[in-house]
Chain A
Amino acid sequence: MGAAELSILAKQKQTEQPLLAVRGLTKRYGRRIGCAEVSFDLFAGEVLGIVGESGSGKSTLLSCLAGHLAPDAGTVVFDTADGPRDTVRMAEAERRRLARTDWAFVHQNPRDGLRMGVSAGGNVGERLMAVGARHYGQIRAQAVDWLGRVEIAADRMDDRPSAFSGGMQQRLQIARNLVTGPRLVFMDEPTGGLDVSVQARLLDLMRGLVREMGLSAIIVTHDLAVVRLLADRLMVMQGGQVVEQGLTDQVLDDPQHAYTQLLVSSVLQV
């Protein structure tokens, strides 16, 4: 095992350029603060969890990062194929192109992220067609492959998502997002609204995909168990501010900030 493993270790001394570098990101709603002065780096292959209760600004932050909302100040520099670019200031056409190629967004409610009137195969194929795929057979083959990877049987590919269970819809949404091989996935409460056993399956699936595809992910959730299992690093938000960030198990096992201590102690065992 030695030699093969050593060469792999050597490869992991990777580039030091962060995939996403966020500085001073601020969004206000009139006088109210959405999120204030948020800064962090995310490197390739890392999973960052953002936790906080409703109204803490975590969803606002995610929207600003993903380009769904224009921040009032700050920069979000993404390491594009042409080098680092501030996505806040790039032209909308370019940002939308990123959104269908290098980025993906998994919504809490699959209905927001799927086309409910289009078959499962069509949902997965859309991103391929959006980037120029024009061979029906190949699109279909890739859709079958991806449905398989998220454990949806090939014979369901022509069914509409409305005929699927909540967990299947969520897995379909993930397949639809990952089919074009993005490098960064934004997830908004991806396991919210699912049964615990279905959540487990989804978590395992996401872990495997993150590992196999070398994905980076930013996951917003209020579920500390989810971040414990998925996230390498954790950011805790309260009132629009990041009150604590660090290694996930460090933040959960040895929280430093009063709010984090309260958050952790309020949860049954995580």
Chain B
Amino acid sequence: MIRISNLAKSFTLHNQGGAVIPVMAAASLRVAPGECVGLTGASGAGKSTLMRLIWGNYLAAGGSILVGDLDVAQAAPRDIIGLRRTTLGYVSQFLRVVPRVPTIEVVAEPLLTLGLPADQARARAASLLARLNIPERLWALSPTTFSGGEQQRVNIARGFAHAYPALLLDEPTASLDVVNREVVLNLIGEAKARGAAILGIFHDEAARARVCDRLVDVGTFTPKADA
């Protein structure tokens, strides 16, 4: 489902004398449907960079990133937008929403964007929020006022609202209590069971061991210092 070959990434800092900083080279990786692959490596090794390259908000310097049959490294913005709407989901570490929008709407939005009727979208959002133990009295409030753990659960609910065939998970269980961590791990398990290809970053080793079928060390993708 996700096939990365020979991927390279560098940053050019025009405002710092045009310094070119290579951060990734010759990265290759595959995630099959129903499989969960965990990214490992030291902090700064490029785990989040790889996720962003796949999501498309980082521009690849070379190589290819096939999600389904779309090469994100080459695709037009319009196609990436379509991919994100229908195929590729992303649970980032931070919730980024329009202030003052009710939580239930935030979670339902990916489904509304797909054209699902509002009542069905809200019903699905409500069941996820309930499952993630967000008290119903908070659903009508904006998540911007919530605690870190609550925001993270809203973010997860939003990421799991639609049954994406491919999912990127950036620390989905961080800052969660035991009960909610269990809910999230079950959600991941269910997504795998329905055939989703999942690529994740898990610092929580127990969680990693439980859901990941394989691990990939991004440290091997770091360019040689003299390159």
Chain A positions near chain B (C-beta within 8 angstroms): 1-2, 4-5, 8-9, 11-12, 43, 46, 197, 200-201, 203-204, 207, 211, 228-229, 232-233, 246-247, 249-250, 252-254, 256-258, 261-262, 265
Contacts and interface: CB of A to CB of B under 8 A. Distances in A.
26 contacts: A1-B116, A2-B163, A5-B114, A8-B116, A12-B82, A12-B85, A12-B114, A201-B100, A204-B101, A211-B112, A211-B113, A232-B77, A232-B78, A233-B78, A247-B56, A247-B77, A249-B56, A249-B57, A250-B59, A250-B77, A253-B52, A254-B57, A254-B59, A261-B13, A261-B14, A265-B15
Nearest to A250: B57
A256 B11 CA distance: 8
Contacts of A233: 77-78, 81
A257 B124 CA distance: 42
Contacts of A256: 12, 59
B120 interface: yes
| B contacts with A: majority SS | mixed
Contacts of B113: 211
A207 B81 contact: no
B48 to A, nearest CB: 11
Contacts, number: 80
Contacts of B77: 232-233, 246-247, 250
B225 interface: no
A1 B114 CA distance: 12
Contact of A5 (B14, B57, B80, B116): B116
A1 B101 contact: no
Interface of B: 11-15, 52, 56-59, 77-78, 80-82, 85-86, 96, 98-101, 112-116, 120, 124, 162-163
Contacts of B15: 258, 261-262, 265
Contacts of A228: 96
Contacts of A200: 98-100
Contacts of A5: 114, 116, 162-163
Chain B CB within 10 Å, residue with most, of A4, A233, A250: A250
B85 A257 contact: no
A269 to B, nearest CB: 10
Nearest to A253: B57
A253 B98 contact: no
Contacts of A229: 98
